[in-house]
Structure 1
Amino acid sequence: MLKEKNFYKEGLPVNVITADIQEYPIHFHDDIEVVYVLKGTVKLKNGYYTYTLKQGDIFILNDREIHSFYHTDEPNMVMMLQLDLSYFSKYYGNLKNSFFVTDMEDDDDESLEALRGILARIMLEVLKKGYGYEYKIIEGAHNLLANLLANFQYFAMEDGRFVNEAKNMGNKVLAGRLNRITDYMYENYTRRLTLNEIADREHLSIYYLSHVIKEATGLSFQELLSFIRVEESEKLLLGTNKKIGVISEESGFSAIRYYIKYFTKWFGMHPAEYREKYTGRVSSREISAQYTLSKPDDILAAIKHQSKEIYTSYEREQGPALTIVNLDLDEPLKHMKDVECGIRDLFSFSSMAPGAFAFNMLTALNEHVIAAGENYIITRLHRGHSDKDAFSILLYNNNDKIMELARKGLSLEETQNRLVEFQDGSEILIKISGMNGQYQISRYKFSKENILMSYKVKLGISNALAKRERLTSRWATTPTVDFTTVTTVDTLSIQSNLKGFSAELILIDKKG
Structure 2
Amino acid sequence: DMEVVYVLEGSVILRNGYYTYNLKQGDIFILNDREMHSFQRTDEDNLVMMFQMDLTYFSRYYDSLKNNFFVTDVEDDSDESLEVLRNLLAKIMMEIIQKGYGYEHKVIESTHNLIACLLSDFQYFVMENGRFKNEMKNKGNKILAGRLNRITDYMYDNYTRKLTLSEIADREHLSIYYLSHIIKEATGLSFQDLLSYIRVEESERLLLGTNKKIGAIAEETGFSAVRYYIKHFEHWFGMHPLEYRKKYIGKIISRDIEAKYKLATPAQIESAIRKQVKGIYADYADKFKAKPVIIDIDIYDDYAEVESEPPVMSEIMERDVNKVLAEPYRKMMEMQENIISSGENYIVSTKCKYPGALDSLSILMYNFDENTGRNLRKILNRDDLLRIVRNYENEMEFLVRCTGLSGTFRIIRYRLGKESFLAKIVHEADSGARESVRENLINKLTSEGNISTGSYISSDALSVRTIFEGIGAELILIDKV
TM-score by length of 1: 0.50
Deviations 1:168-212 (A, max 9, x none): 454221121111111111111011111111111111111001110
Matched, 1:151 2:121: yes
Within 5 Å, give how 1:493-504 maps onto structure 2: none
- The CA distance in 1 between the partners of 2:139 and 2:9, in whole Å, is 29
Q: Is the 8 A contact 2:85 2:114 kept in 1?
A: yes
The equivalent of 2:397 in structure 1 is none
Which of 178, 182, 204 aligns to 1:208? It is: 178
Residue 120 to residue 96, structure 1, CA distance change in 2 (3 Å): same
CA apart distance, 1:164: 0.7
- Partners of 1:205 and 1:132 in 2: CA distance: 52
Does the C-alpha gap of structure 1 residues 280 and 295 become closer, same or farther in structure 2, counting only changes over 3 Å?
A: closer
Q: CA deviation at 1:271?
A: 0.2
Instruction: Tell whether the 8 Å contact from 1:186 to 1:228 is kept in structure 2 after alignment.
Output: yes
Q: Verify: 1:35 aligned to 2:1, yes or no.
A: no
Q: Deviations over 1:58-80 (max 9, x none)?
A: 11111111111111111111100
Residue 294 of structure 1 corresponds to 266
In 2, the alpha carbon distance for the partners of 1:237 and 1:158 equals 26
Q: Deviations over 1:223-276 (max 9, x none)?
A: 111110000001111111111111111111111111111111111110000011
> Among residues 263, 267, 270, which one is paired with 2:233 in the alignment?
263
Q: 1:239 aligns with which of 205, 209, 218?
A: 209
Counterpart-to-counterpart distance in 1, 2:46 and 2:130: 26
Task: Name the CA distance, whole Å, in 1 between partners of 2:44 and 2:230.
Answer: 37
Structure 1 residues 189-228: aligned runs within 5 Å: 189-228=159-198
Query: 1:294 is aligned with what amino acid?
Result: P
CA RMSD of aligned residues (A): 2.2
1:184 aligns with 154
Deviation at 1:281, TM superposition (A): 2.0
Whether the 8 Å contact between 2:123 and 2:136 is mirrored in structure 1 is no
The Cα of 1:296 is off from its aligned counterpart by 12
Query: Is the aligned partner of 1:131 residue 2:101?
Result: yes
CA distance in 2 between partners of 1:280 and 1:129 (Å): 36
Runs of 4 or more consecutive aligned structure 1 residues displaced over 6 Å after TM superposition: 284-287, 295-298
Partner letter of residue 196 of structure 1? S
Q: Is the 8 A contact 1:237 1:271 kept in 2?
A: yes
Give the counterpart letter for 1:223 in structure 2. Answer: D
- Decide whether aligned partners of structure 1 residues 190 and 297 sit closer, same or farther in structure 2, where only a CA change above 3 A counts: closer
Contact 1:283–1:289, Cα closer than 8 Å, also in 2: no
Question: For residues 209 and 260 of structure 1, do their structure 2 counterparts lie closer, same or farther at Cα, with a shift above 3 Å needed?
Answer: same
The amino acid that maps onto 2:134 is N
Q: CA deviation at 1:108?
A: 2.0
Distance 2:228 2:267 in 1: 50
Q: Which residue of 2 aligns with 1:90?
A: 60
TM-score normalised over the length of structure 2: 0.53
C-alpha distance in 2 between matches for 1:218 and 1:154: 12
In 1, Cα distance between equivalents of 2:122 and 2:258: 33
1:44, 1:53 within 8 Å by CA — same for their partners in 2?
yes
- Find 2:38's aligned residue among 44, 68, 86: 68
Distance 1:169 1:142, change over 3 A: farther
8 Å CA contact retained: 1:40, 1:77: yes
Classify 1:208/1:110 alpha carbon distance in 2 versus 1 (closer, same or farther; 3 Å). same
Identity rate of aligned residues, in percent? 72
Q: CA 1:297/1:66 → structure 2, altered by over 3 Å: closer, same or farther?
A: closer
Match in the other structure for 1:248: 218
Aligned position for 2:426: none
Distance 2:135 2:96 in 1: 32
Pairwise mapping of residues 433-512 of structure 1 onto structure 2 (< 5 A)? none
Shift of 1:166: 3.9
Aligned: 1:81 with 2:34 = no
**SS of equivalent residue, structure 1 residue 290:** coil
In structure 1, list runs of 5 or more residues that go unmatched. Answer: 1-30, 299-512
Equivalent runs, 1:41-440 vs 2, <5 Å: 41-103=11-73, 105-168=75-138, 170-283=140-253, 288-291=259-262, 292=264, 294=266
Give me the whole-angstrom Cα distance separating, in 2, the residues matched to 1:126 and 1:140: 11
Alpha-carbon distance in structure 2 between the residues aligned to 1:65 and 1:89: 18
CA offset digits 1:446-485 (Å, max 9, x no partner): xxxxxxxxxxxxxxxxxxxxxxxxxxxxxxxxxxxxxxxx
Indicate conservation of the 8 Å contact 1:41/1:71, yes or no.
yes
Q: What one-letter code is carried by the residue in structure 1 that aligns with 2:214?
A: I
Distance in 2 between residues matched to 1:151 and 1:98, nearest whole Å: 12
Shift of 1:106: 2.3
Higher mean displacement: 138-147 or 128-137: 128-137
Q: Is the 8 A contact 2:28 2:74 kept in 1?
A: no
Q: What is the distance in 1 between the residues matched to 2:140 and 2:73?
A: 17
Once residues 214 and 165 of structure 2 are traced to their aligned partners in structure 1, the CA distance between those partners, rounded to angstroms, is 27
Q: Distance in 2 between matches of 1:35 and 1:120?
A: 12
Q: 1:255 to 1:130 in 2, by over 3 A?
A: same
In the other structure, the counterpart of 2:464 is none
Post-superposition offset of 1:105: 4.8
Structure 2 runs not aligned, ≥5 long: 271-481
Report the alpha carbon displacement of residue 97 of structure 1 after superposing the two structures with TM: 0.6
Query: What corresponds to 2:470 in structure 1?
Result: none
Q: Tell me the CA shift for residue 288 of structure 1.
A: 4.3
User: 1:111-134 deviations in whole A, cap 9, x for unaligned?
Assistant: 111111111111111111111111
Residue pair 1:210, 1:220 contacting (<8 A) in 2 also: yes
Corresponding residue SS for 2:145:
helix
Give 1:283 shift.
4.9
CA distance in 1, matches of 2:267, 2:239: 41
Asked if the contact 2:261–2:267 (Cα under 8 Å) also holds between the matched residues in 1, the reply is no
CA contact (8 A) 2:37 2:253 kept: no
Q: Specify the structure having the higher radius of gyration (Cα).
A: 1
